[in-house]
Each structure stands twice: as C-alpha cells, then as structure tokens.
Structure 1
C-alpha cells in the first residue's frame, strides 16, 4: 500500500477535496463552506463519482467523509431546490442518493467525520455511513417536518433500527437537533471527540485500524453486517452470507497470508482485494 495519490484519482473536483492521509485511506471533504456544505444536485453527482471510484480502486480500503468549515453538511442547497421547484424541475439525484451516500450500499466502508451540523440530507448521509466520529459540538437533525417536507434519503427506517421507535420518532417528528453525545447514547455514533481535538484525526485513527486488516475480509464481513441490518433475520442472513461469500474469501490469497503471518509471528502483507 501507499499513501501517495493513485494515478487514476479524480481530478478537477468543484465541490470536494480528496486526499490520502495514510496508506489505504481516502479522505473526502465537502468543500462548500460558505453554503455550510449544502449540496447542489451537481455536488451530489460529484461525490457519487468519487465514492464509486473509491469502491473500484484496489489500493484503497476505507474512506472518510467530512466537511470544510463549521458544518458537515446541512442538506440540499435550498436556493437551487427552490428555483428548480418553481420551474417544476425534480431533484434528480444519483442512484446512490444524496451526496452519493444516503442510498449507498457500496463495497467498502465509509466513516463520517462530523465536525458540525449534519442536517437534513447531511444527517441522512451520516446515518448511512458505516461508522460515525463526531465532534462534541456537532449536531444531527432531520428538520424536514418544519419545512413541510419529509426525509426521503433512507434515514427514517435506518434511524428506527438504530435508535428505536421512540427516539427515532422524537427526532423525525419534532425536527429538533440532537447533540453528538445524545446520538452516541442512542447507539448512532461511535466516538465523540471533545473540544480541542480534531475530528478528522480521530476518524483517521479509526480508519487505520480497518485498513490494517485483510481487505478481502473487510469487504466480505461488511456484506454480512449489511444483510442483518437491512432486514434479513439471523438465520437467513447467515445462510446467504455463507452461501454467497464464504467461498470467495477462501479462494483469495489474503486468507492464507493472514494464517501464515500468525504462524510465523509477523505482520501480514496484505494484497489489494480483487473482490
């Protein structure tokens, strides 16, 4: 692995900044600070293309998404939304949803580094990330009911599964902001970073733990987690996981490398995943 920029990395990005803080790790920062990182339709498509590239780039293992400035993402760019709505133009988002994440299934994990407000679509993005690291000053909010609309990016059923009916209902029907500490108490956030610490740095630490593992095992294990999360019961998800994925991990060279490294008492030398 190398922390250098892959030769085929996306170029000319208008709404985001990408970097590679450590081998195998992609950092994507939404770069619309004057708009509190609200996203136009074009910005959603740009992020979608970045994360699709990430899934297909063998040298990368895990991604982090954060925001430049005071906010993570406060949802859709309302100027564009209102203008298009008056013209009868629907919000045509990519298949993977708002920011290329809210409906994303993907192949590799993404960690949300929530540095500030994650509102509306930004909250839906964070909830569909695999892990969340949040600043103590961050907040999560689904304010759509206050604007006469509703969250449509998948957050409602996901929040119900994660936080339970009463908490999900409170958040969705009151539209009140939820603090990072509350979100962690609800089981929706992994780490809260206290003031004076950098949320992206903490997310990179977590990403390093993922990137240090077998890339094949990470991809396949994530599939097993998704099966249970997305509605299948333990029996069905375990059976489908075993039938559909176990052979693929046995056929890969990284499994043997992990076993050899354990036997030889050395660090494994993982190969880029071909899954």
Structure 2
C-alpha cells in the first residue's frame, strides 16, 4: 500500500513507521490517522517483523497533536467522526502486540506526546519537548494521556503536568521517568536501532507474550497476574521457536527464530 502522510520502512526484522507531514509539524489529520491504522495492521500481520519503531520525519517535531487547521471548518458531526477515528489510531498504538519503541525528536505535544506514551518506551533526542497542553484549549488529553502519564510517572506529577499544560524538555522527561534514553539528535536513529537489534534477536512470540503479561498483569491483583504469566509462558512453550531456542543453546549457536 502507498502512503502519503506516513512512511513505512523495514530494516531487517524491524518495522519503522514515521509520521511524514514535516511541513505541518507532523500534525495528525484524518488521512494520517487512517494510514497509521493501516500501517500498524500491516506490521502486525508481517511475520518477518518482530518489533517496530514509531518516529517522524523532519527536524522540528515528532508530532504536535491534532491538525487544528483541518478542524476549523468541520461541523460538530464531522469532528465527532474524526475523533472516533483518532481514538482508534491511539488505541492501535497502545495495543500493538509486538514491541513498539518511540524515537522522539523535537516537539511531542498533545496527541504527539500521547502517541509516544502509548509505545513501550521512549528514546528521545536532546531536542525533544513533551507536553499535554489540552486544558489551555478547554479540553483534556483524549488520546490516552490522562491514563498513560500517571501510570508512567505517578499520579501527582502527571496531574501537575496536565493541569498546567507545561512543556518539559528531554532531560526533565528523563528525570521523571518518562523517557528511557536521551541522546544527541544525530544519534537518535542509531541508538534506537541498537536497542531494536537487541530486542529482535529474541523469539518473536516470546516478545509478544512478555508484552502481554506486563501490560495486562499490571492491572490485576498479584494472584491473577501470576496466572496470566503462566498462561503466556505456556503459549511460548508450544511453539517451534521454543524448540529452536533449546536446540541452539545445547548446540552453542545463535537461534534462528521464525515466528511460529
């Protein structure tokens, strides 16, 4: 499928989805939301892709949230339909079954910040700026921000950032635990792909089940969460990849996993 507002690449076992509206600071419009959904589905269905990166084209912004210029002439009904589509796009990022890492350079504001938060973790350049400024427009974060940010940095700190709409730089984001790494802008892709190389050398089904166990288990009581972990483990146990991993260990070689 051809894409206009995003770019989809494959580098070995890694899919790279880039927002591609740099002239608009990668603001999210209707077409971009549709293409994000299509690209994520494409990557989920591709057995050769073990994990993915969400990033952006351009030097100024990862994504500055919704394209308000597109919205200015919309009717209430049109805006409601667009909003439903946007929620699907945010949810698709949050529920992507394979590991998904955000590589953020420049502004990640509003929905852009929420896209990054919905990923498994964030690698940021020193030029990254994060913020959820929605209350300044008399709305609230609606792409998962009110739920994802407190889970990541704690309730009180998240409330402060959301209530004030304050922007924070990459170093402050690192201090708060919002991002895992801060690197020079020119090192962002290299660092991200080094991490991805570590991830995709492992069993793809195991990666998916580990993500499932963590994401769902954290919302459960410990007893139920341990039962979920056991279920996820058993999924891995029944795979050919698990047999290959065991053979490779005993034969003192690197395993060749095939996602089955």
TM-score normalised by structure 1 residue count: 0.88
Structure 2 contact 90–144 (Cα < 8 Å) conserved: no
Structure 1 counterpart of 2:119 = 129
Which of 83, 88, 103 aligns to 1:113? It is 103
SS in 1 for 2:255: coil
Structure 1 contact 144–175 (Cα < 8 Å) conserved: yes
Structure 1 counterpart of 2:35 = 46
Structure 1 counterpart of 2:220 = 232
Structure 2 counterpart of 1:29 = 18
Residues 24-62 of structure 1 deviation map (CA, whole Å, 9 limit, x = unaligned): 001111110110000112211111110111111100011
Which of 244, 253, 259 aligns to 1:266? It is 253
Residues 187-237 of structure 1 deviation map (CA, whole Å, 9 limit, x = unaligned): 221111125x331221111111111101111111111111134x2133212
State how many pairs are aligned: 257
Structure 1 contact 54–60 (Cα < 8 Å) conserved: yes
| CA shift for structure 1 position 95 | 5.6
Tell me if 1:154 matches 2:144: yes
- Please list every run of at least 4 consecutive aligned residues from structure 1 whose deviation after the TM superposition is greater than 6 angstroms: none
d(CA) in 2 for partners of 1:220, 1:160: 24
- What is the root-mean-square deviation in Å for CA atoms of aligned residues? 1.7
SS in 2 for 1:83: coil
d(CA) in 1 for partners of 2:118, 2:202: 22
d(CA) in 2 for partners of 1:112, 1:155: 15
d(CA) in 2 for partners of 1:149, 1:12: 34
Which structure has the highest helix share of the two? 2
Structure 1 counterpart of 2:242 = 255
SS in 2 for 1:158: helix
TM-score normalised by structure 2 residue count: 0.93
Structure 1 contact 47–99 (Cα < 8 Å) conserved: no
Structure 1 contact 48–94 (Cα < 8 Å) conserved: no
d(CA) in 1 for partners of 2:213, 2:230: 9
Structure 2 contact 52–100 (Cα < 8 Å) conserved: yes
| CA shift for structure 1 position 138 | 0.3
| CA shift for structure 1 position 80 | 1.3
d(CA) in 2 for partners of 1:87, 1:261: 57
Structure 2 counterpart of 1:208 = 197
d(CA) in 1 for partners of 2:91, 2:31: 9
**Cα distance 1:163–1:46, how it changes in 2: closer, same or farther (>3 A)?**
same
Structure 2 contact 90–118 (Cα < 8 Å) conserved: no
